[in-house]
Amino acid sequence: MATSNAFAGADLELIDIRKDFPGFTALDDMDLTIPAGQFFALLGPSGCGKTTTLRIVAGLETPTQGQVMLGGKDITSAKPHERPINTVFQSYALFPHMTVLDNVAFGLRQRKVADAQKLAEDALNLVELGHLGDRRPQQLSGGQQQRVALARALVNRPSLLLLDEPLGALDLKLRRQMQIELKAIQLEVGLTFLHVTHDQEEAMDMADIVAVMNKGRIEQMGAPEVLYDRPKTVFVSKFLGQSNLFVGEVVEKNATSVSIEVGGNKITVDKKRAEKHTGKIAIGVRPEKADFHEKKPKLGSDHIVIGPGEIIDIRFTGVSNQYLIDIPNVGEVTVFAQNVGKSPEIALGANVYVSWKVEHSYGLADLPSGSEEE
């Protein structure tokens, strides 16, 4: 409904932000740049500081230190109503004493935009709720309220749109549908979106760039594919999908790869895919990248083979089977095999070898908790 260049969002830059609350530090030296027009997701568990970050950007919290820049302008001390930023709140926060249409027109009327009524109607039509403008928010379903909240924020054409887990309260099917709609709207209007969520699938599915937050810091940031393929810390490898992690001393090192020894097995990682090359390191692989074999497979040096171990659990999840294999002196390894009709017929208790390609290994910068002092 609008040309994307006319309303292109602005760059958001957080410089050295710190936020202390009585008794704890919610954010610690946070630096973040979100280029204009991006769909950016802040992903993390509850309490990681992602909502605090969002509130600082919106102006609802004041950072203890640091600067918030929008489009090159310092807005750190600007009041929320002075910022060209709008938020879709987790609770939607629709005004119960106004009609849906008045809710959507609220921001326009505050800025005395001409034709507020017409623009609000257009925005409601965009989210396919044009026919419900006269209702009160309480009379709408959760999904409809969510779309009203979105229209109420979008109609103002903010430089930056903040989304605070707006899909959290919806059921899975509706959430999927809203994710697709949100992404489509973002592409259509070309705004900068900052989306805060704890749902890793949602973040990977919608965002151009994902920043994984933990304990008030950004652990890793990048395109979803890159983050998934090459997590750099234990937290990221476990929060974004599942990981099999192996910890051991580096026993072999050459120009291109690093190998560790774990329970008599050699596990190798490409040097450029490893954060650390010496001492005790953790190497991981995604469960769907691994295979298992009833006989020790004859594979080249571009593969890792470990085992044998016993299958102690098989789970059917529809699209795939999940096998849990207990390898002596190594630990439990998870392998996903797709249900494409050619999955090996294998019974619980069978002894198998696990293999994967070296290029799928990744070396982490830290060690899983509990393995540091072993």
Partner 1 sequence: MAFAAFGGGAPAKDNSASRKGGPIVLALLLPGMIYLGLFFMTPLLSLLVTALESPDPSGAIGAYFYDVNFGNFLTVVTSYWPQILRSFGYAFAATVFALAISYPLAYFIGVKLRTSPLIQRLLLTLVIAPFFISFLLRTIAWKQLLSDDSAFVSLLHALNILGPTQFFIGSDAAVIFGLTYNFIPFMTLPLFTNLERLDTRLLEAASDLYASPNKVFRKVTLPLSMPGIISGTLLTFIPIAGDYVNASRDFLGSSKTSMIGTMVEADFLQNWNYPSASALSVLLMGLILVMVTFYVRKSGTDDLL
Catalog residues that contact partner 1 under the rule CB under 8 A: 58-60, 79-81, 85-87, 89, 91, 93-97, 106-107, 110-111, 136, 152-153, 156
Write down the least CB distance from residue 114 to partner 1, Å: 15
In 3D, which of 298, 294, 285 has the Cα closest to residue 349?
294
Taking the complex as a whole, the smallest distance from the CB of residue 110 to partner 1 amounts, in Å, to: 4
The least distance separating partner 1 from the CB of residue 80, rounded to whole angstroms, comes to 4
DSSP 8: -
Q: Nearer to partner 1 by C-beta: 146 or 243? A: 146
**Residue 268 C-beta: closest distance to partner 1, Å:** 52
Residue nearer to partner 1 on the CB measure, 82 or 252: 82
- Minimum distance of partner 1 from residue 151's CB (angstroms): 12
The residues that bridge with 68 in the sheet, in sequence order, are: 14
Q: In what order do the strands lie in the sheet with 217-222?
A: 85-88, 160-164, 192-197, 39-43, 209-214, 217-222
Nearer to partner 1 by Cβ, of 161 and 210: the residue is: 161
Give 241: exposed, middle or buried? Use CB within 10 Å, 0-12, 13-18, 19+.
middle
Dump the DSSP string for 205-259: HH-SEEEEEETTEEEEEE-HHHHHHS--SHHHHHHSS--EEEEEEEEEE-SSEEE
- Cα–Cα distance for residue pair 227/237, rounded to 1 Å: 8
Q: Of 93 and 174, which CB lies nearer to partner 1 in the complex structure?
A: 93
CB of 137 vs partner 1, minimal distance in Å: 11
What is the Cα–Cα distance from 132 to 147, expressed in whole angstroms?
12
Q: Which is nearer to partner 1, 91 or 338 (CB)?
A: 91
In the DSSP assignment, the letter for residue 47 is T
Q: Which is nearer to partner 1, 84 or 368 (CB)?
A: 84
